[in-house]
Structures are given as structure tokens and as C-alpha cells.
Amino acid sequence: MAIQDKTGIALNPTQNDLPAETRAAVTEALAPALAAATDLYWQAKSAHWNVKGPSFIALHKLFDEVAEEVEEWADLLAERIVQLGGTAQGTVQVAAQRSPLPPYPLTIQSGAEHVAALSGALAAFGRLVRSLIDRTDSLGDSATADVCTEIARGCDKLLWFVEAHNQQP
């Protein structure tokens, strides 16, 4: 009998030695993180395109660097889902339906406003990925826990870089 994820998509055949039930549970756990990474990427791009003010060039470049790194995280998550036999559902439409991140404010312009909004999104994404470390490990998939640890570490670094722009010395 084929194992299906909660969206009804059957796992693809693989010789991966993790039990099918584990692979199904892990791919289901990773799906919201992939949606959130896709959402976070476009939030960072929105900040990159729309920032105004005296720190424009520094923030414009920083927000683009954030987007590039988040794009790599989305790729890691999607590829892990597929490695386990799942289907990476990483379209913008799926992200809009499934992302647990707060919506990005579309009317902000100042650097401080974008820093605050993107910091909040990075923090929310970091919490989500950090929760997956223990969850995937407890499901018996330490390799996926390691992927989530790598992403959490990178998220902490980017949050630090972005937040530093609104912190007073």
C-alpha cells in the first residue's frame, strides 16, 4: 500500500532506508517550512525593492543578500522533501495558502519599517525551523534535523544582521 502525505500525494519510490511512515511524517513536517521559506524570500525581495531613506544602499544590498540565502534554504528544504520520496510543493500559490509567517506590510517604505518587518519574519521563520530540529529527530530522521540546524544557524545570523540596523549603540 502506498503511503500518502496529508495532501493526498503518494510518496515516490526510493531505496532510502528510512521507514515510509517516517519519510511521510518528515515530508509533512517540512511542507510548512518550504512554504514559509518561499514567503520569506519574497518578503525580503519586497523590502529590497521598496526600501527608502538614508540607509537605502546598505539595506537594499542587505535585503538582497537575505533573499539569496533564504532561496538556498528553500532549495535545501525542497530537495530534502524529494530525497525522502515526497513532492516539493514550492509554488507561490502554495506558499500563500500555507505559510505561517505574518503577511508583509505593503505600504511601508522607511528603512526602519522594513528592518522591523523583515526581522519579525526572520524570527518567525527561525522559530519554525528550530521546532523542526527536535521534531524530525524524534521522528527518527537526524539528517533532516541537521538540515534544519544548518538553516536555523543561518537564520540567526541574518536576523542579527538585519536587527542591528535598528539597534542603538
Q: What is the pLDDT of residues 128-145, one digit of tens each?
A: 999 999 999 999 999 999
Amino acid letter, 75? D
- List beta partners, residue 4: 10
CB 21 within 8 A of CB 4: no
- The whole-number pLDDT of residue 6 equals 62
User: H/E/C letters for each residue in 101-129?
Assistant: CCCCCCCCCEHHHHHHHHHHHHHHHHHHH
pLDDT of residue 71: 98
Q: Residue 72 is which amino acid?
A: E
What is 24-40 written as a DSSP string? HHHHHHHHHHHHHHHHH
pLDDT along the chain (169 residues), means of 10: 63 89 94 98 98 95 98 98 94 94 96 97 98 97 98 98 89
Alpha-carbon distances of 60 from 96, 115, 144, rounded to whole Å: 24, 11, 32
How would you label 65-89 residue by residue, b for 16+ Cβ within 10 Å and e otherwise? ebbebbbebbebbbebbebbbbbbb
d(CA 151, CA 8): 28
Output the pLDDT for position 130.
98
pLDDT at 76: 98
CB 57 within 8 A of CB 115: no
List, in order of start, the domains of the chain with CATH numbers: 20-99+108-166 (1.20.1260.10)
Res 1: pLDDT: 46
pLDDT in the model for residue 2: 61
- Hey, is 166 helix, strand or coil? helix
pLDDT at 8: 64
